Amino acid sequence: MKLLAITALLAAAIPALPPGPPPAAAGSAATAAHLGAAPQGAARQGAAHRDGARQGAAHRDDCADAGARLRPGGHGHGREHNDLTPGEAAAVERQLDRILDRLGLDLGPADGAGGQSTGAELRAAQPVTIPVYFHVLHDGSEGNVSMAEVNRQISTLNDSYGGRNGGANTRVSFTLRAVSRTDNADWFNDPERYEGTYKPRLRKGGKSTLNLYSAQIGGDLLGWSTFPWKYKSEPKMDGVTIHYGSMPGGSIDNFNKGFSATHEVGHWLGLYHTFQDGCGSRGDRVADTPAERDPTNGCPAGKDTCPSPGEDPIHNYMDYSYDTCMTSFTAGQGARIHKVWKAYRA
């Protein structure tokens, strides 16, 4: 497994399938994992989510990337690459505060107590349109998703971030620029191992361009992402990788509405998991997402794991619920996205 640089920032990951043998490191790792250390993968600077175990992230072996989305219920491995320890998150936030200070901005309330946001900041934010380069990794016909499937994934991102499934309109939208197709069995079947090879060769655009890769991800991961603060040190590794079976209409039961990409792109835009820091007072640094001790598995109505006000945000895209349970971002998450964008991607 690849060690995640605990220094600045690990990326977020979500569980997917039963973990296989650890991938060989092919780059510098900077992603963080749920409930454990980040897995070693090829230069995964950001966050990774495993296909399965979204619910209660346990370490993937002894290192789990904190930026990945996992499928709940698997083999107890529910940690993504995008999990950060409270200390790591605190270090990231100090750096972000300094940058926003220089820009004359602040992050606003982040007490994790479920306070309601008026949404005024979000409504005042200038809309952001993000160009997307979609890279299809495949092995012959396997994983060679159609243009229709790619377009459905982009539409799903626009619906998610536009508030069309519920919740806040984050004023972020996505435009597909181009699709590349690479027939390479190694890259497709072991994208973690070869991440440091295919990303530098395929990546297009700069810090404000989303590069989205689809492949067959092993273990419990559904996908992973890099955090925006890692771009400066590892620009070629920036981007989001998803399991092609998690795309709309895909083969992964309970995780095939395309919300793995929504979740991972949330990390790419600077959002933490809703269960970041557990019941700690700082939580995910967004005031209108109630504190949550544990990732959600399935869609358990009334789940409430913290004493502070509000039930767990099981319908939030940054939790680990089934895709059928996910519906929304909050206004506070939208406001944070725009501030982080100005700090790192504008």
Query: Which residues make Cβ contacts (< 8 Å) with residue 233, sequence separation at least 6?
Result: 8, 30, 45
User: Is residue 264 among the annotated active site residues?
Assistant: yes
3-state SS of 254-279? CCCCCHHHHHHHHHHCCCCCCCCCCC
Q: Which of 149, 192, 195, 264 is catalytic?
A: 264
Contact 31, 13 (CB under 8 A): yes
Q: How many CA atoms lie within 13 A of 99 on its CB side?
A: 16
Residue type, 139: D
Contact 14, 70 (CB under 8 A): yes
Contact 338, 122 (CB under 8 A): yes
The helix or strand, by DSSP H or E, that contains position 135, with its residue range, turns out to be strand 128-138
Backbone angles phi, psi at 229, to 5 degrees: -70, -10
Place of tokens 């809703």: 274
Which residues belong to the active site?
A: 264
